[in-house]
Amino acid sequence: MTKIIGVISIKGGVGKTTAVTNLANVLSNEFDKKVLVVDANFSAPTLALYLGLKEYDFSLHDVLNDKIPVSDAILKHNLGFDVIPSSLVPKKINPYDLKEKLEHLKEYYDIILLDSSPNLNEEILATMVASDELFVVSTPDHPTLKSTINAVNVAQKKKTPITGIILNRVRNKNFEVNLNDIELATSVPVLAVLPEDVKVLEALSRSIPVSNYYPKRDLSIEYKKLGGCIVGNSFKDNRFITKVKDVLKREIPKQEVNRSCMIEAIK
Ligand SMILES: Nc1ncnc2c1ncn2[C@@H]1O[C@H](COP(=O)(O)OP(=O)(O)O)[C@@H](O)[C@H]1O
Ligand SMILES: [Mg+2]
Best residue for ligand 1 mutational test, from 18, 50, 127 (most atoms within 8 Å of Cβ)? 18
Q: Indicate if ligand 1 lies below 6 Å from the C-beta of 208.
A: no
Burial 227-266 (b: 16+ CB within 10 A, else e): bbbbbebebebeeeeeeeeeeeeeeeeebeebbeebbeee
Euclidean distance between CA atoms 17 and 115, whole angstroms: 6
Q: Give residue 20 CA to ligand 2 midpoint distance, Å.
A: 9
Ligand 1 binding pocket includes 10 (Cβ within 6 Å): no
pLDDT at 139: 98
Q: The domain containing residue 96 runs over which residues? A: 3-266
How many domains does one find in the chain?
1
Looking up residue 149, the CATH number of its domain turns out to be 3.40.50.300
Q: Are strands 75-76 and 82-84 parallel, antiparallel or unpaired?
A: antiparallel
For ligand 1, the distance from its centroid to the CA atom of residue 229, given in whole angstroms, is 22
pLDDT at 58: 97
Q: Give me the phi and psi of 39, to 5 degrees please.
A: -85, 95
Nearest ligand to the CA of 39 is 2
Tell me if 194 CB under 6 Å of ligand 1: yes
Nearest ligand, measured from the Cα of 201: 1
H/E element, 220: helix 218-231
Chain centre to alpha carbon of residue 257: 20
Q: What percent of the chain has pLDDT over 70?
A: 100
Ligand minimally distant from the alpha carbon of residue 210: 1
User: pLDDT by residue for the chain (267 residues), tens digit each?
Assistant: 999 999 999 999 999 999 999 999 999 999 999 999 999 999 999 999 999 999 999 999 999 999 999 999 999 999 999 999 999 998 999 999 999 999 989 999 999 999 999 999 999 999 999 999 999 999 999 999 999 999 999 999 999 999 999 999 999 999 999 999 999 999 999 999 999 999 999 999 999 999 999 999 999 999 999 999 999 999 999 999 998 888 888 899 999 999 999 999 988
Q: Which residues pair with 195 in a beta bridge?
A: 170
pLDDT value of position 206: 98
